[in-house]
């Protein structure tokens, strides 16, 4: 080995060490057809190969998942209209067996609304928050030292005004809940209101208080929301109008301001087309969005100076209805969940261009709707 090769090896070793060779992939599903609950896979981050590990936990409609920052706990929604004889869904807590990946149910609580569809754990690991699509509400719950869900600490029921689309916006539909980098604010995208509602969040008590809101274009239907790694920009994908909106985030004032809005697909919005998820690449240079009906991942570049977005292409997900997708911890691969073709598809990400290249063949998984990665 010459000096040049040795030097290259030494420079690359720390980088390789930062990305675990194996990561566990948890998949939330709708429990219809063959689906039984939460599934798990193992991904080889050298090749992008996904290997099935079976059912991690049997539970009803765990459509969205969240991992505790310590990596030993997982939380899911139970996207239901009735839970324990009462109207509403559930939030479920699980311990993770780090050796096998199996999940053990710790407890379940009512989600304080119907049709819970999104869940988030605070960075300090002391609270879990959820968004209820059916009833249009948001709630926060305390977490015990063992991970069990305790008392409700915050709650807001959304009301009028609503958007102009009578068939989709006749009431509130809270679709996601996120926390800013400092965990000072909770942001709830409400499809029915055409608003991202901004609440003060107390990371010590879990209390929520009204603060402000950000309006998208009328009839847009904001769905999922993502912060840029720099904490200064944010992106919301609008389900009904099939657009992605870039915003600045004033962390001190708790205020969003629009930068620009771009379409997520190269065809006009039509019946049967909608968007679902948005994820910013860890390198901060690209943001992605999923298109249902068009069945593609939209690829956007992010201007390094302003946060402005520009769509640079779309990649077919090789399946139907990509409801959710995620990027692995190494930033090398994107996994898309095709809900209506019962498949997961892996793409290699070009870190320079943001473009996606399929890896291998689609992997079978029943009714997948959420993708979460855990280093093992």
Please report where in the chains the tokens 């995208």 appear, as a residue.
189
- Contacts for 148 with CB less than 8 Å, ≥ 6 apart: 93, 106, 107
- Is there a contact between 335 and 325 (Cβ–Cβ < 8 Å)? yes
The pLDDT score that the predictor gives to residue 6 is 33
Mean pLDDT (whole number) for 255-279: 97
Q: Band the pLDDT of 18: cuts 50, 70, 90.
A: low
Alpha-carbon span 134 to 144, nearest angstrom: 28
Alpha-carbon span 24 to 39, nearest angstrom: 10
Q: Where do the H-state alpha helices sit in the chain?
A: 3-18
Q: Band the pLDDT of 343: cuts 50, 70, 90.
A: very high
The pLDDT score that the predictor gives to residue 19 is 61
**Token pair of 292 as six digits:** 């249902």
Tens-digit pLDDT profile for residues 142-169 = 999 999 999 999 999 999 999 999 999 9
| Arithmetic mean of pLDDT over the chain | 94
The pLDDT score that the predictor gives to residue 1 is 38
**Model confidence at 7: pLDDT above 50:** no
- Is there a contact between 117 and 175 (Cβ–Cβ < 8 Å)? yes
The pLDDT score that the predictor gives to residue 3 is 36
**Answer CATH for 64-360 from 3.40.50.300, 2.130.10.10, 3.40.50.2000, 3.30.565.10:** 2.130.10.10
Tens-digit pLDDT profile for residues 79-138 = 998 999 989 999 999 999 999 999 999 999 999 999 999 999 999 999 999 999 999 999
Alpha-carbon span 287 to 300, nearest angstrom: 5
For 316, the enclosing helix (H) or strand (E) is strand 309-316
**Model confidence at 207: pLDDT above 80:** yes
**Model confidence at 15: pLDDT above 70:** no
For 341, the enclosing helix (H) or strand (E) is none
Alpha-carbon span 354 to 331, nearest angstrom: 11
E strands, 111-173, are: 116-121, 127-132, 137-143, 149-157
Bridge partners, residue 13, by sequence: none
Burial grade of 360 (CB within 10 A; 0-12, 13-18, 19 or more): exposed
Residue among 325, 307, 327, 285 at smallest CA distance from 27: 325
The pLDDT score that the predictor gives to residue 16 is 33
Question: 35 vs 54, 56, 368, CA distance in Å?
Answer: 11, 12, 9
The pLDDT score that the predictor gives to residue 376 is 83
The pLDDT score that the predictor gives to residue 12 is 32
- The percent of residues above 70 in pLDDT, for the chain, comes to 95
Q: Is the C-alpha dihedral spanning 202, 183, 326, 47 positive or negative?
A: negative
Does the bond joining 161 to the residue before it have cis omega, within 30 degrees of 0? yes
The pLDDT score that the predictor gives to residue 13 is 32
- The percent of residues above 90 in pLDDT, for the chain, comes to 92
Tens-digit pLDDT profile for residues 314-336 = 999 999 999 999 999 999 999 99
The pLDDT score that the predictor gives to residue 17 is 40
The full set of domain ranges for the chain reads: 64-360
């Amino acid at each position: 080995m010459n000096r040049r090769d040795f030097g290259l090896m030494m420079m690359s070793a720390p980088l390789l060490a930062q990305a675990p060779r194996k990561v566990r992939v948890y998949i939330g599903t709708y429990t219809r057809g063959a689906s039984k609950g939460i599934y798990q896979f193992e991904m080889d981050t050298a090749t992008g190969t996904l290997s099935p590990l079976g059912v991690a936990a049997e539970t009803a409609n765990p459509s969205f998942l969240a991992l505790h920052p310590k990596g030993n706990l997982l939380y899911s929604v139970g996207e239901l209209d009735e839970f324990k004889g009462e109207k509403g869904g559930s939030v479920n807590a699980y311990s993770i067996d780090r050796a096998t990946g199996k999940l053990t149910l710790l407890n379940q609580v009512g989600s304080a609304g119907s049709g819970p569809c999104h869940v988030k754990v605070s960075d300090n690991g002391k609270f879990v928050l959820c968004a209820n699509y059916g009833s249009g509400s948001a709630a926060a719950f305390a977490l015990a030292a063992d991970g069990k869900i305790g008392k409700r600490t915050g709650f807001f029921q959304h009301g009028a005004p609503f958007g102009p689309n009578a068939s989709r916006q006749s009431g509130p539909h809270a679709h996601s809940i996120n926390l800013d980098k400092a965990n000072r604010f909770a942001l709830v995208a409400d499809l029915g209101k055409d608003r991202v509602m901004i609440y003060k969040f107390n990371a010590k008590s879990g209390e929520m208080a009204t603060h402000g809101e950000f309006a998208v274009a009328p009839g847009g239907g904001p769905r999922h929301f993502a912060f840029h790694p720099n904490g200064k920009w944010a992106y919301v994908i609008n389900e009904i109008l099939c657009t992605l909106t870039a915003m600045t985030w004033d962390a001190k004032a708790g205020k969003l301001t629009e930068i620009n809005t771009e379409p997520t697909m190269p065809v006009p919005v039509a019946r049967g087309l909608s968007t679902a998820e948005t994820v910013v690449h860890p390198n901060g240079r690209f943001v992605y969005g999923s298109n249902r009906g068009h069945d593609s991942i939209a690829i956007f570049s992010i201007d390094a100076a302003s946060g402005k977005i520009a769509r640079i292409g779309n990649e077919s997900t090789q399946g139907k209805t990509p409801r959710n997708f995620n990027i692995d911890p190494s930033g090398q691969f994107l996994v898309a969940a095709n809900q209506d073709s019962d498949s997961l598809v892996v793409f290699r990400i070009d870190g320079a261009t943001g473009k996606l290249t399929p890896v291998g063949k689609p992997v079978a998984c029943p009714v997948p709707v959420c993708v979460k990665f855990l280093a093992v």
